[in-house]
């Protein structure tokens, strides 16, 4: 048993929390099982398991050797069935990669509302770098994690952001390979470097990522959304030309109706004088005093 501070692999900042560490040494490797805190109802423990293959101390060379089998589909299927008996945990076909290289995983639904993930990674330098007793060693990592009401993306953030702190005190042990060269434009004028937005770097601690994941089957009744009523378009209305009313104007001539907003006021209308014959004057007579203006 080791304290959480002696773990060779740490989960990302923010959790899950390390409860305890169980370790064992072999003649060719050191193994740790970092137990993580769990609130899931699915039987089993949440953990990160790490196997470091490298030169052991002299007192460990006479012990048992840890067999390295690699990650094959058949062996992984057996591990998944052993960790999640009776549950539908399916492997993904997606290619994923974190800071240490490529990894893969299986995910599915656990007991109740739990979502479970089983991830694995083999960290080893490329073959062309393992020359002259340099860049040797190997690390195998497994993650078993179940959380209630969690998304697969949230569980994957642990695989993206865990940190390896253990190493062998040997100059030839380096499973990560030769570091890449620094960008030649770094520090030179004419090569601006801009800050990245948070969403530009996927799977930051506590972040989410959109990835192709196997479907998670849940026995939850989901009511169908109400159907939207589609209104049928109204038939076109035929246009009928209605003539404007006719109003008799001066001298009995027809005149069009003037709209209210353009009709002149009474003060602006020209006064019209009409000749009305006086009953005292004979018809057809003229002159002043007989109704002439």
Q: What is the pLDDT of residues 214-234, one digit of tens each?
A: 444 444 444 555 555 555 555
User: Would you state the structure tokens that stand for residue 142, as one six-digit string?
Assistant: 């497994």
| Region for residue 12 given its phi and psi (left: phi exceeds 0; alpha: psi -120 to 50; beta: otherwise) | beta
Residue 102 has pLDDT above 50, yes or no: yes
CB 19 within 8 A of CB 39: no
Give the model confidence (pLDDT) of 123-157 as tens digits: 999 988 988 888 999 999 999 999 999 999 999 99
Helix residue spans in 147-202 (DSSP H): 152-161
Mean pLDDT of 52-77: 84
Give the model confidence (pLDDT) of 235-259 as tens digits: 554 555 555 555 455 554 444 444 4
Reduce the DSSP state of residue 34 to 3 states and report it: strand
- The Cα–Cα gap between 271 and 119 comes to 101
CB 117 within 8 A of CB 103: no
| C-alpha dist (Å) from residue 73 to 70, 217, 225 | 10, 22, 41
CB 277 within 8 A of CB 293: no
pTM value is 0.65
- The Cα–Cα gap between 38 and 46 comes to 6
């Amino acid at each position: 048993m080791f304290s959480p501070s002696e773990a060779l692999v740490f989960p990302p900042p923010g959790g899950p929390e390390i409860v305890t560490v169980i370790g064992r040494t072999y003649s060719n490797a050191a193994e740790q099982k970092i137990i993580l805190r769990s609130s899931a109802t699915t039987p089993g423990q949440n953990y990160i398991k790490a196997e470091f293959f490298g030169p052991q101390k002299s007192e460990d060379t006479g012990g048992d050797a840890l067999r390295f089998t690699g990650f094959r589909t058949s062996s992984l299927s057996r591990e998944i069935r052993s960790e999640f008996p009776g549950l539908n945990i399916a492997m993904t076909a997606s290619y994923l990669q974190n800071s240490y290289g490529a990894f893969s995983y299986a995910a599915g639904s656990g007991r109740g509302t739990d979502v479970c993930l089983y991830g694995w990674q083999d960290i080893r330098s490329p073959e062309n770098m393992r020359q002259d007793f340099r860049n040797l060693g190997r690390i195998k990592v497994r993650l078993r994690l179940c959380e209630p009401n969690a998304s697969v993306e949230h569980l994957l953030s642990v695989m993206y952001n865990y940190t390896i702190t253990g190493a062998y005190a040997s100059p030839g042990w380096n499973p990560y390979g030769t570091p890449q060269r620094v960008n030649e434009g770094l520090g030179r004028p004419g090569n601006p470097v801009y800050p990245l937005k948070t969403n530009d770097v996927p799977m930051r601690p506590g972040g989410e990522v959109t990835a192709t994941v196997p479907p998670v089957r849940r026995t939850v009744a989901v009511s169908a959304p109400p159907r939207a009523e589609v209104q049928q378009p109204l038939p076109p209305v035929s246009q009928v030309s209605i003539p404007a009313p006719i109003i008799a104007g001066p001298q009995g001539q027809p005149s069009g109706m003037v709209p209210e907003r353009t009709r002149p006021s009474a003060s602006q209308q020209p006064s019209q004088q009409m000749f009305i014959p006086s009953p005292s004057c004979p018809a057809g007579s003229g002159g002043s005093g007989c109704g002439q203006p």
